[in-house]
């Protein structure tokens, strides 16, 4: 067995802390039973962030409209429950299929142009969908949101309870499944070619990587994952409103991914935990001005750098020239 083989095997090996983290995460709705609602929210945002990381962190495609797929998943799941059948798992699969399809279509819009054009195009798609959800009120309930969604029990047995424990377990399980899938993907040759074309598109072409097909695939997959996150939100709250398509949702997502770190799957998860807890904590202290503190935190984080911020003992040392 060559050194190269061993070295690559070592790089993708599961770390000890990962075996600690996931059981703890899955046990958290029970350990912190009074906080199941926020755990549910965190799991949903974390899944949404993992999806954006696949696109932004690994493939290097900037997007300000990732909420388009999240919202599509949310409305698909809610409408499916209302009009077809209330089973959450079937609804989840339906929502993933619909948002994946939307992702495949939208992937054609991100092939040309620069980062700036991509920001505008993705933002535009989300705005179009939001306006559609607003105007098609006979179907979506318009600005009032989609009312009267009743979810059936999970696996026909577990009812969604008021305290959100079932919801939190459901969301955490879906998060874990997609996390495992994404982890597989980013450590594969496919994932490596994505990183390659993020780093240097010119060279990627020169070693025979078909750039367009790679981008179509990852954008489509990420759209499906975002759709799953949206479906979780709609199913665990029995509600969908046009707010799922809003710009602030895409922007917050990018923000928390920057906080957690891009190009690292745990970045999305960490960012979601930090962002949601900060939001919750600061909002409890100063309900009107919490965005001020989030903003300040972000400015400091970016100026100081994540590594230095996490190592306070380096603050007084002189930086290397």
Partner 1 sequence: MSTTVVLSAQGLVKRFGGIVATSQVNLDLHQGARHALIGPNGAGKTTLINLLTGVLEPSEGRILLDDQDITHLAPHQRVRRGMVRTFQINQLFDSLTPLETLALTVSQHQGLGARWWQALGHNMQVTDRCQQLLEQFHLAEVMGQPTHQLAYGKRRLLEIAIALACEPRVLLLDEPVAGVPAGEREELLQTVANLPQEVSVLLIEHDMDLVFSFARRVTVLVNGAVLTEGDPDVIAADPQVKAVYLGDGGPGESDEQVALGIGAVQ
Provide the binding-site residues for partner 1, judged by CB under 8 A: 1-5, 7-9, 11-12, 184-185, 187-193, 195-196, 199-200, 202-203, 205-211, 213, 217, 263
CB of 62 to partner 1, least distance (A): 17
Question: Which of 31-58 are b and which e, b meaning 16 or more Cβ less than 10 Å from the residue's Cβ?
Answer: eeeebbbbbbbbbbbbbbbbbbbbbbbb
Kindly give, in sequence order, each residue whose CB lies less than 8 Å from that of residue 38, ignoring residues fewer than 6 positions away.
Answer: 276, 277, 280
CB of 115 to partner 1, least distance (A): 18
CB of 102 to partner 1, least distance (A): 21
CB-nearer residue toward partner 1: 37 or 209: 209
Q: How far is CA 16 from CA 13, 43, 128, 233, 249, in A?
A: 10, 21, 45, 31, 33
Q: 158 φ, ψ to 5°?
A: -100, 110
CB of 217 to partner 1, least distance (A): 8
CB-nearer residue toward partner 1: 3 or 114: 3
CB-nearer residue toward partner 1: 18 or 199: 199
CB of 146 to partner 1, least distance (A): 34
8-state DSSP, 317: S
- 64 within 8 A of 123, measured Cβ to Cβ: yes
Dist CA 277 CA 272 (whole Å): 8
CB-nearer residue toward partner 1: 202 or 284: 202
CB of 112 to partner 1, least distance (A): 15
Q: 278 φ, ψ to 5°?
A: -60, -45
CB-nearer residue toward partner 1: 182 or 279: 182
CB-nearer residue toward partner 1: 4 or 284: 4
8-state DSSP, 54: I
Of 205, 309, 202, the closest CA to residue 260 belongs to 309
CB of 14 to partner 1, least distance (A): 12
**C-alpha count within 13 angstroms, C-beta hemisphere, residue 65:** 25
CB-nearer residue toward partner 1: 50 or 167: 50
Dist CA 298 CA 255 (whole Å): 8
């Amino acid at each position: 067995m060559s050194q190269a083989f061993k070295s690559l095997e070592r790089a993708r090996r599961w770390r000890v802390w990962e075996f600690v983290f996931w059981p703890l995460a899955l046990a958290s709705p029970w350990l912190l039973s009074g906080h199941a609602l926020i755990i549910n929210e965190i799991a949903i945002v974390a899944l949404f962030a993992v999806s954006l990381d696949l696109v932004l962190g690994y493939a290097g495609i900037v997007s300000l409209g990732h909420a388009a797929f999240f919202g599509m998943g949310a409305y698909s799941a809610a409408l499916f429950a209302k009009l077809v059948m209330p089973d959450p798992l079937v609804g989840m699969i339906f929502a993933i299929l619909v948002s994946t399809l939307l992702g495949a279509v939208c992937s054609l819009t991100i092939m040309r142009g620069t980062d700036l054009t991509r920001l505008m195009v993705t933002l535009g798609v989300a705005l179009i969908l939001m306006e559609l959800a607003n105007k098609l009120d006979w179907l979506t309930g318009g600005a009032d949101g989609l009312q009267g969604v009743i979810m059936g029990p999970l696996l026909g047995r577990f009812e969604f309870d008021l305290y959100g424990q079932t919801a939190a377990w459901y969301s955490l399980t879906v998060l874990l499944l997609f996390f495992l899938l994404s982890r597989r993907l980013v450590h594969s040759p496919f994932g490596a070619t994505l990183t390659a074309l993020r780093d240097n598109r010119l060279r990627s072409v020169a070693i025979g990587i078909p750039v367009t097909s790679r981008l179509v695939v990852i954008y489509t997959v990420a759209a499906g994952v975002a759709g799953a996150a949206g479906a979780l939100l709609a199913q665990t709250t029995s509600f969908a409103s046009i707010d799922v398509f809003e710009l602030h949702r895409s922007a917050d997502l990018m923000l928390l991914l920057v906080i957690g770190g891009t190009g690292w799957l745990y970045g999305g998860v960490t960012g979601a935990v930090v962002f949601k807890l900060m939001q919750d904590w600061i909002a409890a202290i100063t309900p009107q001005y919490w965005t001020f503190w989030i903003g300040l935190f972000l400015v400091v984080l970016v100026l100081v750098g994540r590594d230095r911020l996490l190592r306070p003992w380096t603050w007084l040392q002189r930086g290397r020239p």
